[in-house]
Structure 1
C-alpha cells in the first residue's frame, strides 16, 4: 500500500478460484478499509453488481456477455463462492462501499474486426496465464514521465505459478500454492510477496505472440484508466482486486494517461447484453477446457465452507458417497483414513493435509486400493456436480423466463448430473413433461434427449428421456429466442420455417415433432406442404427416408388422441409411389449403396407395419378383384408392399444383400414357403464367397431366432462356413461378423451350443489306421470338454 497525493491504492493480486486467496483478501479489505473496490471483470457488467446481494444468488454462477444479433459470440466470467472476486463483490455490498469491474469491456472483447483481434482464450478467461490475472490499468494524478508499464508487456505462455513452484523446489504448482496460500497457518498477508514475485516473473519470463501482448496491454491500460476515473471521482482509498500477474503494472504511481489512451484508441466495439447465468463446479475444472480453472472445485468449496477440521469432515463425506454405491465403509475406517492423511502430511513436511494426502488415504483405506472407486470420489466430490442458482428477477430473454417457469410448474430441475425420466403418457404431469421435451427438441436445445429405458415391457404410452444441463445451453436458449418469447410460440415459428424451406425428409420429421410437441397451429401448414412436396418429389429414396417418420407420427398421434386422418392419406400416397418406383431404385447398386438401400427397406417395412396396425387394428386384409380400383384409403398397403417385393425375386440385377432381405421379409410374412431352399441355392456353387456373405447378411441380420429354432437353416449356414477355403474364410469373416454382431451375447451362445450339440450327434468317421486311438484318448477327451460335448 503506497500513498501519494492523498490517494492510497491497494493492489491485491489474487488467484482466481482460490479459498485461501479469498480469506486473505477479506482480511486485507477489512484492514485497508477502502472507499472504492475495483474487481477484475468486464466494465460494462457493472449494472449486474447489485444482484450479487440477493439471497437467491448461489454460486457457482457466471456473468454472460453476448452479442444480441449473434449470440454465439459470447464470453463467460465464472465465480464460485470461494472465488476472491465474488467475496470482494459481496463484501463491498455488505459494507455499502462502491464496487465495480475494471477490465476491458465485453463490448470490445467480443467485437470482430481490427488488425489485432482479442484472443479467444482471453474472452472466455480460458488462458492459462489468466489464473492470476484480470485486465487492469492504473494511472493517477501526480504521476509523470514515461513508464514501461504502458508498453505491451511480456505475456507468459507457461504457468507463472509453475515457475515459482519450481524455484521453491516443488514439481507441482497446485501443491506449492496449497502450501503457501491455501494451507497457511499464520495470519500474515500473502499479497506483498506475490506482488514482488510476479514483478520478477514479468521481467524474467519470455515473451509470447505479439498479438496476445497487444490484448494484454489493452486490458491493463483500461484497468489503469478505470483507476484514474475513480481518483477523479474523489476516491481516496481504492482497492484493486486483480489476478496476481497483473498486479505489478497497477501499483502507484500510475504512468501518464497519454500512452494508455493511445493503446486503447481505435478498438472495435459491438453492442452486447450482459446477464447472470448458473454455472457448475465441473465447468470450473481444468478438464472442461477452462484455462483459468482449477483441478478440484469440490475440494476448494469444502475448504471454504468447512474451515474447521476439513480433513475429518471431508473423509466423512467420502464415506457417505461410497456407501451410496453400496461400498462398505465403517467409522473406524474413516478414523484410520484421517490418521493416515495427517501422517502423510507430516512425512511430506506440509502444514496441513491437502488433497493429495486425503486422496491417498481414501484410496488406501476407504477404497481398498480400488482405482475405480477413487475415480467416483473424484468425479462426485473432488470436482463435484454442484450447479448454481440465479435470482429469477435477473434480466434475461423472455424465452429463458418461460422455460424456467415451465420447469417450476412441471417440477423439473435443471441439473448437471444426467437423469433419466420414465414418462407414462397416461398421466397428465408426465404427458406435459413429454410435450415440453419435444418442444425443446424442435428448438434444438440439447437439455433433454430420448434415451433407452431401464424398465422392461414398455408400450407406446411410455417415453424415456435423459436430461443434463450444461451452462453453455444458456446460449442455445438465447439463440432460440429469435423464434419467439415462449417455448410454444418459438417452437411453432421454428416449424413454420421448416415448412417454408425444408426438404421432404425434414418435413416428415417436423410433422412427427409437431404431433409429439402438440403444436397444432403449425401442423395444418406442414401437412399441406408435405402433400405438395411428396407429390412433386420423384426420388424414391427421398420417399423411403421420409415415410418412417410419417408412420411414427401417425401411430403416436393415435396414442395421444390426435386426429391423423390427413396424415394417413399422405402416408398411403407415399407408400403407393414407393411401390411403383422401388424396382429401378434397387438395381445397379454397389455394395455400400446396397446396404443403405436394405436399411431403408427395413425402415419402410416397419413403417408400413405401423400404418397397417393403426388403420385395420391388426386385422389382415387381402385386396381382392373388387378392390383393384379402390381409393388410397381403402388399399391394403401391406399387400401392395409384399407384392412389390415379390416382383424382385429371382432377378439377377438386384444386389445380393437386397435379395437376401427380400426373401427374408417374404418368408416371415408367409408369402413364400421355400425359404430354406432359397438359402441353400444362395450358398451353393456359382457365386463368390463375398456375394454369399452379403446374401446371408441380408437374410439373417437381426434374425437370431431363425438360427436358434430352425434346424435346417442353422445346418445350411454351418455347412457353408465349414466348407469355406482359408482364403474365402478370410474374405467373408468381416461380413459374417457384422451379421452376427446384431445378435445378443446370449443368442450367439445359444446358437453355438446348438451347433456343437448337432455336431456331437453326428456319426464319427473311422479314423485312419495310422492313428493310435489309445494314445489320443486324453487329448480327445480334453477337446470334448472344451467344446462342451458329453463323453
Structure 2
C-alpha cells in the first residue's frame, strides 16, 4: 500500500473537490511538495516521530529562508524560550482568554519528537527565522463571544478528531485489519514510513489526510473552525512569500489541501469572515505562557485530542532514529521488555526469562504476519498479554499489562528555560517545593507523612500543602491525620498527604497569579475576596476562615480576621452558628502554639465572648426544629465542658441559670430535655433522682409522651450513660414501659430505642444485659440464646393471626 489511495479508489464518492487520484497526484507534485517552488508544504501528524525524521531531511535539502508553523500567533514571542537549550520537552504553550462571558484555556504541547518542535530547534541551529501562523484559540473555540453552553475545559488546539474519525479511516482500518486509527498510522507511517523516500512518505501523508478531509462538508469544516484558521494561515503565507525566496510551511496534514486550494484559487471561505469579525468585536484579555508538560497528559489515551498514545515509547523510538534509523522498533521493544521484567520481579510477579524470550519472539512473528517490517507497540502489547498473563485475564492477573501501560506512557515532566515570561507564583511554588524536597520532577502519586507535633519542619510542609491546596485543590489530598476544619480525627498527631504535579497544576497556579506573586500573597488576597462574600453575622464561617489561614501559616491574615469575627459574634443571633464559632475559636486557643500564635490576650477574649453569646441564646432551644437537635446537643456538651473547666473565663453562673430556665419550659423537646437534665445533674444543680422522675413522666404519661420516651433517653445517654448503667430505678421504669406496650407501639418505638442504646459500648451493653437478667430472675446463660430471626417472627405472627381467625370462625375462643 504505497499510496493509500489504492484502498480508497473503489469509492471515489468521497472526493468531492478532487476529480480523481491522478488530480490529487498532480496537486501534490506541482503545488504541495516541489522543492523547486518558492513555497513547499510539509503535511504532518502532530507528535509523529516519522514526520519529524523526514522533516529534518527536507529542511536540510530545501534550505528554506523562512519556516512557517501551524501554531498560535500569540506564541511567537515565546519561540526563543522553546528553542533555548535549557528547555527540555515535554513543554507546552498555555493560552488563556477572558471576556465578559467567562474564561477559556488551551494547551499547545510539544514533545521532543513533535515535528513542530524539531523544526524550531533545527531552524534555531541553522539560523533560519520561524513563525507561528495560526489563529489563537479564542477565534475557533466555537463560542465567538457568546455565553458558553457548557462548562469550559482546557483542551489542545491540535485536535485531530476529524482526521482520525473520518469514514475513509474507518473503512481503511477494516480493509487492513487494524483495530484502530493509531495502529493503522503506526503500521503505514511510523514503521513503514521510515524505509520510504521522503517524497513518497510526504505524498502518502498528504493523500491520507486529504481523503479524510473530503469526508466532511464545508459546513462541518466551518463549524469546526478549520476554514477560518486556513484563511488566516493563507494570509501569513502570502506575506512571507513577498519577503522570502524559499518558504517551508509545516501544518497538520488535514489542512494542507485547504491551504493549497485557497492560495491558488484565492478563495475566502464562506462564513469565515463573519466568524472572524464576531470574535474580533468582543472585548477580551488573553495571555500566552510557556509551561512544563508531562508525558501522561500528552498521551492520547488520557483524553488528549491529538497525537499518538504511548508517548514514552515513541520518545524512545525517536532517540533510536537519531542514533540509527535502521531498526529502532526492534531495539526499543527489547528495551521495554527488559524494563517490564525488572518491574514485575520487583513486585514479586511470577515471570521468567523464558516468558520474556517468548514475548520477544512473538513480537517478530506478529509483525511478519501483519506485514510490518518491525513489531511496534501493538505487537508488544499483544505479546505481553499472551506471554505474561497466566490463565484468564482478570483484575487479579492484569498487573503485567498495567505495568506495561505505565512504561509506555512514562512519567517525565519537562522544564522551561528561565525567561521574562515566567510567572512569579509558579517560581515561588517550585522554590518552596524544592526547599522542602517535594517531588515535582516526575509524575505519579507521591506520599509524605508529617509529624506535626514533634518536627517544626513538618509543620512548615503541612502549611505549604494547606496553602497550595487552598489555591489548587488538585495538587495534594490529605489521606489521614487531623481534619481541623471538619473537626474529625483530632486525636491524631500525624498527617499523611498524597500529591502529584502536572502541567494542570501549573496552569491553575497561573490562573491564581492575578491574586499575587507568591503562594502566601495569592492565598491572602483570595481569602480576603472570599471574606467579602460571607454575611457579617455568619461568625462560624469567618472563624473557620481564620482557622484555615492559620493552617496555611498566614498568621498575619488570621490576626486581621479578629475584628471581623468579633463583630460577627455580636450580630450573630443563631445558637448553632455561635457554638460552631466557639468550637473553632476554642480549638485555636488550645493549639495556639502549634498554629504559630503567641499568648495573645485578644484570642482569649474572643473565646470568652463567643461563649457568653452562645449561653445567652439558650432560651431559643425550645423553638428549634428536630433536624437541628444533633448540632444543638453538641453545642450544649461544649458549653457544659467549658463550664466545668478550670478556666477562669468560663466561671460564671449564667449558663447554669439559663439551663435551669430551660428545664422549666414545658415546650422544650424531649431529646433536649434529656441532655439538659443530664448536664444539670453532672454540674450538681439537679439530682439523679430527677432524671428518673422526668423519665417516669414520659413513660407513664399520655400516649404522645410515651412515644417521646426514647428521644428523652437519647438525650440523657449522650451525656450521662452512668445514670442508666448503675441506677436500678431508670432500668426498672423502662422495663415496665416495654412490658405494658402493645405489640404495634413496641414495634414503632424500637428504632428510637435502638438508637438510644447505640451510645453504650459493647462492654456496657453486656453489663446492662446482666442487670436485666437479674431483674427477670433469669440465668445469665439464657441471655446468650440466639435471637429469633426477624423474618421468622413475622411469619409466626402471621400464622398466629390466621389461627385466631380460624378459631374465632369456629367459635373456639
Larger Rg: 2
The aligned length equals 710
In 1, Cα distance between equivalents of 2:700 and 2:312? 66
Aligned equivalents of 1:93, 1:645: Cα separation in 2 = 82
Moved more, 115-124 or 49-58: 115-124
C-alpha spacing 1:416/1:555, structure 2 compared with 1 (3 Å): farther
In 2, Cα distance between equivalents of 1:24 and 1:681: 94
Structure 1 residue aligned with 2:238: 228
1:48 deviates by 0.9
- CA–CA distance in structure 1, aligned partners of residues 332 and 243 of structure 2: 44
For residues 298 and 583 of structure 1, the distance between their equivalents in structure 2, rounded to whole angstroms, comes to 68
Picking from 366, 379, 382, the partner of 2:388 is 366
SS of the counterpart of 2:263? coil
Q: Give 2:556's aligned residue.
A: 521
Render the CA deviation track for 1:266-308: whole Å, top value 9, x for unaligned.
2534442211111222322345443226443344334434535
Counterpart of 2:252 in structure 1 is: 243
Shift in alpha-carbon separation, 1:63–1:162, aligned structure 2, 3 A: farther
- Looking at structure 1, the residues matched to 565 and 401 of structure 2 have their Cα atoms a distance apart, in angstroms, of 51
Matches within 5 A, 1:467-546: 467-498=499-530, 502-503=534-535, 504-546=539-581
Q: Is 1:177 the counterpart of 2:185 in the alignment?
A: yes
Describe the SS at the equivalent of 1:484: coil
Go from structure 1 to structure 2 and tell me whether the alpha carbon gap of 1:21 and 1:444 turns closer, same or farther (over 3 Å shift).
Answer: closer
Contact 1:448 1:467 in 2 (8 A): yes
Q: 1:12 to 1:531 in 2, by over 3 A?
A: same
Give the Cα separation in 2 of the matches to 1:24 and 1:657.
81
Please report how far the alpha carbon of residue 693 of structure 1 lies from its aligned counterpart in structure 2 after TM superposition.
7.8
User: Secondary structure of 2:503's partner?
Assistant: coil
CA contact (8 A) 2:66 2:248 kept: yes
Residue 310 in 1 paired to residue 338 in 2? no
Superposition RMSD in Å: 5.1
Please give the alpha-carbon distance, in whole angstroms, between the structure 2 residues aligned to 1:682 and 1:382. 71
Quick check: 2:262–2:268 contact (8 Å CA) kept in 1? no
Spell out, residue by residue over 1:598-631, the C-alpha distance to the aligned partner (whole angstroms, 9 max, x if none).
146437756986x79xxxxxx9439xxxxxxxxx
User: Does 2:454 match 1:434?
Assistant: no
- Please give the alpha-carbon distance, in whole angstroms, between the structure 2 residues aligned to 1:709 and 1:357: 75
- Tell me by how many angstroms 1:412 deviates: 2.5
Aligned to 1:78: 109
Residue 574 in 1 paired to residue 589 in 2? no
Distance 2:351 2:660 in 1: 66
Q: Retained in 2: the 8 A contact 1:682–1:692?
A: yes
The CA deviation at 1:531 is 0.8
SS in 2 for 1:417: coil
Q: 1:194 to 1:570 in 2, by over 3 A?
A: same
Describe how 1:196-235 pairs up with structure 2 within 5 A: 196-206=207-217, 209=220, 212-213=223-224, 215-235=225-245
Offset at 1:535? 0.8
Q: CA deviation at 1:476?
A: 2.9
> What is the CA-CA distance between 1:309 and the residue it aligns to?
1.8
Please say if 1:634 is aligned against 2:649: yes
Change (3 A) 1:314 1:208: farther
1:17-61 deviation line (CA, Å, top 9, x unaligned) = 333433343344444443322222101201111122233322222
2:448 maps to 421
**What residue is the counterpart of 1:98 in the other structure?**
129
Q: 3-state SS of the aligned residue for 2:510? A: helix
Question: Using a 3 Å threshold, how does the CA distance of structure 1 residues 357 and 256 change in structure 2: closer, same or farther?
Answer: closer
After superposition, the C-alpha distances for 1:77-124 in whole angstroms (9 at most, x for unaligned) are 122223232222223223332222121134645797558999999983
Q: CA deviation at 1:762?
A: 0.4
| TM-aligned CA deviation for residue 227 of structure 1 | 1.3
1:678-693 counterparts in 2 under 5 A?
none
Q: List per-residue Cα deviations over 1:167-209 (Å, max 9, x = no partner).
A: 5443422221221122327521432122123323333345665
Deviation at 1:544, TM superposition (A): 2.8
Shift of residue 439 of structure 1?
A: 3.3
Rounded to whole Å, the distance in 2 between the matches of 1:689 and 1:21 is 84
Task: Determine the structure 2 residue equivalent to 1:89.
Answer: 120
**Cα contact 1:66–1:73 (8 A) shared by 2:** yes
Task: Extract unaligned runs of 5+ from structure 1.
Answer: 133-155, 613-618, 623-632, 766-791
Counting only pairs closer than 5 Å after superposition, residues 727-738 of structure 1 correspond to structure 2 as none
Give the CA deviation at 1:219: 0.3
Shift in alpha-carbon separation, 1:95–1:60, aligned structure 2, 3 A:
same
Give the Cα separation in 2 of the matches to 1:183 and 1:225. 36
Residue 646 of structure 2 corresponds to: 621
Relative to structure 1, the CA distance from residue 451 to residue 200 in structure 2 (aligned partners, 3 Å threshold; closer, same or farther) is closer
Offset at 1:697? Answer: 7.7
What is the CA-CA distance between 1:549 and the residue it aligns to? 2.7
The Cα of 1:383 is off from its aligned counterpart by: 3.6
Instruction: Quote the residue 2:314 is aligned against.
Output: 300
How far residue 751 of structure 1 moved from its aligned partner, in angstroms, is: 8.5
Equivalent residues in 2 for 1:51-450, closer than 5 Å: 51-67=81-97, 72-106=103-137, 108-109=139-140, 113=144, 124-125=155-156, 129-130=160-161, 132=163, 161-184=169-192, 186-188=194-196, 189=198, 190-206=201-217, 209=220, 212-213=223-224, 215-236=225-246, 238-251=247-260, 254-255=263-264, 257=266, 259=268, 263-264=272-273, 266-269=277-280, 270-286=284-300, 288-292=302-306, 294-305=308-319, 307=328, 308-368=330-390, 369-372=393-396, 373-374=399-400, 376-377=402-403, 380-393=406-419, 395-414=421-440, 416-425=443-452, 426-441=454-469, 443=471, 446-450=474-478
Please list the CA deviations of residues 418-440 of structure 1 after superposition, one character each: whole Å capped at 9, or x if unmatched: 32322234434323323333333
Pair 1:761-2:781 in alignment: yes
Report the Cα distance in structure 2 between the residues aligned to 1:7 and 1:315, rounded to whole angstroms.
Answer: 46
CA pair 620-508 structure 1, distance change in 2 beyond 3 A: closer
Please say which of residues 305-314 and 223-232 is displaced more in the overlay.
305-314
Q: Do the aligned partners of residues 432 and 360 (structure 1) sit closer, same or farther apart at CA in structure 2, a change above 3 Å counting?
A: same
Q: Compare 387-396 and 253-262 and name the one that shifted more.
A: 253-262
SS in 1 for 2:513: helix
State the alpha-carbon separation in 2 of the partners of residues 333 and 493 from structure 1.
59
> Structure 1 residues 185, 7: CA separation in 2 closer, same or farther (over 3 Å shift)?
closer
Q: SS at 1:478's partner residue? A: helix
The aligned residue for residue 150 of structure 1 is none
**TM-aligned CA distance change 1:666 to 1:62, over 3 Å:** farther
State the alpha-carbon separation in 2 of the partners of residues 8 and 387 from structure 1.
39
Contact 1:2 1:8 in 2 (8 A): no
2:64 aligned with 1:43: no
Shift of 1:497: 3.9
**2-structure distance, mates of 1:519, 1:280:** 32
Compared with structure 1, are the counterparts of its residues 200 and 463 closer, same or farther at alpha carbon in structure 2 (3 Å cutoff)? closer
- Alpha-carbon distance in structure 1 between the residues aligned to 2:532 and 2:413: 40
- For the Cα contact (< 8 Å) 1:119–1:212, is it kept in 2? no
Q: Is the 8 A contact 1:547 1:574 kept in 2?
A: yes
- 2-side partners of 1:667 and 1:129: how far apart? 75
Gapped regions of structure 2 (runs ≥ 5): 1-27, 321-327, 483-488, 774-778, 786-813
Aligned pair in 2 of structure 1 residues 525, 183: CA closer, same or farther (>3 Å)?
same
> In the superposition, relative to structure 1, how do residues 119 and 553 fare at CA in structure 2: closer, same or farther (>3 Å)?
closer
Alpha-carbon shift at residue 527 of structure 1 (Å): 0.4
Q: Secondary structure at the match of 2:448?
A: strand
Q: Answer yes or no: is the 8 Å Cα contact 1:13–1:242 preserved in 2.
A: yes
Match of 1:451 among 479, 491, 494: 479
Retained in 1: the 8 A contact 2:428–2:519?
yes
Partner of 1:562: 598
Whole-Å separation in 1 of the counterparts to 2:285 and 2:148: 16
